[in-house]
Amino acid sequence: MRIVIKIGTSTITNQYGIINEESIDSLCFVVSKLKEENNEVIMVSSGAIAMGVGKLSLEKKPKDIPTKQACAAIGQLELMGIYDKHFQNFGQFAAQILLTEDDINNDIRRENFKNTILRIIHLGAIPIINENDTVAIKEICSIGDNDTLAAYVAANIDADLLILLSDIDGLYTNDPKQNKDATLIKNIYEITDDIYALCGDKGSELSTGGMITKINAAKITCDAGTDLFITNGKDPKIIFDIINGKEVGTRFIAKK
């Protein structure tokens, strides 16, 4: 099975952007086990800007583009170093790929990044993808969020499954923080205006997306024939439940 796993900022850092190495280690263990069971695993990881914010001891995520890009440059280096360290604990090694919107929209560049990902997998490494935040500018070449990036990656490499790990359990009928009667929607077969109407605000202070970006990602993957799961990444072992067919989080079921 070819699986794309997107890791949200809140899954691997605390509210101050400090890395949670226990979460990283657990995630690397799960991915390593999946790979040992002959699955092809591609990761799309957020967290570079947040880690830069934490390393620079900034009080909050910057608003201006140059500072964001500086934080990304600092944080990306540390993020990949930590992933590499923990994957080596399980006999694996990682490869970094940084993409921009041009790599998605240009036919030649899109084919190139697809071939690169597949070659990395063939060589036995685990691709870890992020948007190239150090050069991506919204008006020019920015994808905007890693939910969308993960969806484009999954669609272009013919993935069987995309799993979005976040700090939420899935899509609810209402905001569970404000309405105790809100219930988790387990399966969605069609993305309608009613589904979009259930989206709340954007994610945490250090993150970029929210539920709306996850629904947009589901639209991309379902149109491409790939199922998508939204689930809580607090314990990455929940991925095993998904692979084993258990009802976890919210599943968007593609029309095959």
Quick one: average pLDDT of 68-90?
A: 92
pLDDT of 208 strictly over 60: no
HEC string of 224-255 equals CCCEEEEEECCCCCHHHHHHCCCCCCEEECCC
Distance CA 127, CA 149 (A): 14
Distance CA 194, CA 212 (A): 12
Question: Per residue in 30-64, pLDDT tens?
Answer: 999 999 999 999 999 988 888 888 888 888 888 88
Q: Does residue 231 sit in helix, strand or coil?
A: strand
Sequence-separated (6 or more) residues with CB below 8 Å from residue 238? 231, 232, 248, 249
Question: Per residue in 245-255, pLDDT tens?
Answer: 999 999 999 98
Distance CA 61, CA 64 (A): 9
pLDDT of residue 223: 94
Q: At what angle do helices 48-55 and 65-89 cross, to 10 degrees?
A: 100
pLDDT of 139 strictly over 50: no
The candidate with the shortest Cα–Cα distance to 199, out of 190, 210, 209, is 210
The candidate with the shortest Cα–Cα distance to 240, out of 77, 31, 23, is 31
pLDDT of residue 17: 63
Query: Phi and psi (nearest 5°) for 155?
Result: -65, -40
pLDDT of 86 strictly over 60: yes
pLDDT of residue 206: 41
- The pLDDT-based confidence of 228 (bands split at 50, 70, 90) is very high
- If one compares 5 and 131, the residue with the highest pLDDT of the two is 5
Query: Look-up: residue for tokens 């063939």?
Result: 122
Question: Per residue in 63-74, pLDDT tens?
Answer: 888 898 898 899
